[in-house]
Amino acid sequence: MENTNQNNPLLCDFETGICEMPPSAGKDSSATVTKPDKSIKVIYYTDPICSSCWGIEPQLRKLKLEYGNGIEIEYRMGGLLPDWSYNSGGISKPSDVAHHWDEASAYYDMPIDGDVWLEDPMSSSYPPSIAFKAAQMQDKEMAVEFLRKIRELLFLQKKNIAKWEYISLAAQEAGLDVEQLKKNYEGKAEELFAQDLKLARELGVRGFPTMFFVDSSGNQERVYGSRPYGDYEHAISKLQPSATKYAYKRDWKTLFSKYPTLTSREFSELSGTKRQEADAYLQKLYDAGELDKLDTKNGVLWQNKKTGR
């Protein structure tokens, strides 16, 4: 689907892999980012309802496995859908997004069911974004798991994740204290979200996903949009040529113990299994009672029986 001059952030450009925001005032040259605790920091601007961000989950998970000892990833929320007060890019109402999301699912080879925009559409991505900031206040790793859970609810189960009932469900499944999350959600989390939006403007973030790779000297490399895995590796090697990969175990038991839920494309990426062979292999594990699975209109989510939903 071609992009238009009037960018709509829900109408992602498949070729560039970008969910792009309408033009703004632009970059503030005074913006700075803090230096990393590890060799390289990755400032990752995303949004809970960004389909292109869901599309890079395979690359992102592999990046964590191979380079996690040398990089830290700092998740920031970008505010993709404030509300429906705009009309641009061929989208003026939620139902306009449904078909586009089904196309995105096929393009990224990641299960996305666009029918959520027909059945229970979201009015804004701000509530789950603020909830993520509240989750970060408790535990950064649990917050990432929370983001994964809430995206699975949205993209695969067609749940309106702007509603508290689904925010709290994802929080519970991620191991968060739901009562504390509620307090932070209604308290400081909104201020933290506003800080993310401010930094995004200062850094010139125009769409999602956007990743800034920063070394200890403040040098930066930016990877914009859904890109092949090699682009992320290249950004690391430019900043730190001596960076080495961690040789992680690629058997299914190890992968599902690290990531309790995997799509077929994720498993293919992480295990090195050919994509056309991944579904048959995972189906055999399911038939043998080793895995659970969630079938959706546009693909399968495979689950560790011990820890999956």
**Per residue in 136-195, pLDDT tens?**
999 999 999 999 999 999 999 999 999 999 999 999 999 999 999 999 999 999 999 999
pLDDT category of residue 34 using cuts at 50, 70 and 90: low
Scan for tokens 């609810």, then name that residue: 153
Amino acid in the structure at residue 189? A
Q: Say what the pLDDT of residue 150 is.
A: 98
Scan for tokens 């309106």, then name that residue: 160
Q: Which residue has the higher pLDDT, 259 or 84?
A: 259
Token pair recorded at residue 285: 């594990």
Region 223-249 average pLDDT: 95
Q: Which residue has the higher pLDDT, 9 or 105?
A: 105
Contact present, 146 and 136 (Cβ < 8 Å): no
Between 42-46, 89-93, 274-278, the lowest mean confidence (pLDDT) is in 89-93
Mean confidence (pLDDT) of the chain: 90
Q: Is the pTM of this model over 0.85?
A: yes
Q: Which residue has the higher pLDDT, 43 or 25?
A: 43
Among 11, 10, 77, smallest CA distance to 45 is for 77
Between 29-43, 53-67, 131-145, the lowest mean confidence (pLDDT) is in 29-43
Region 90-104 average pLDDT: 85
The maximal CA–CA distance of the chain, rounded, in angstroms, is 58
Alpha-carbon 296 to chain mean position: 19
Give residue 181's region: left, alpha or beta (phi > 0; psi -120 to 50): alpha
Nearest-angstrom CA–CA distance, 23 and 5: 10
Q: Say what the pLDDT of residue 178 is.
A: 98
Which residues 6+ apart lie within 8 Å of 293 measured at CB? 282, 286, 300, 301, 302, 303
Q: Say what the pLDDT of residue 4 is.
A: 36
Which residues 6+ apart lie within 8 Å of 119 measured at CB? 158
Q: Residue 223: beta bridge partners? A: 211
Q: What domains, with CATH codes, occur in the chain?
A: 19-203 (3.40.30.10), 252-304 (1.10.10.10)
Contact present, 231 and 223 (Cβ < 8 Å): yes
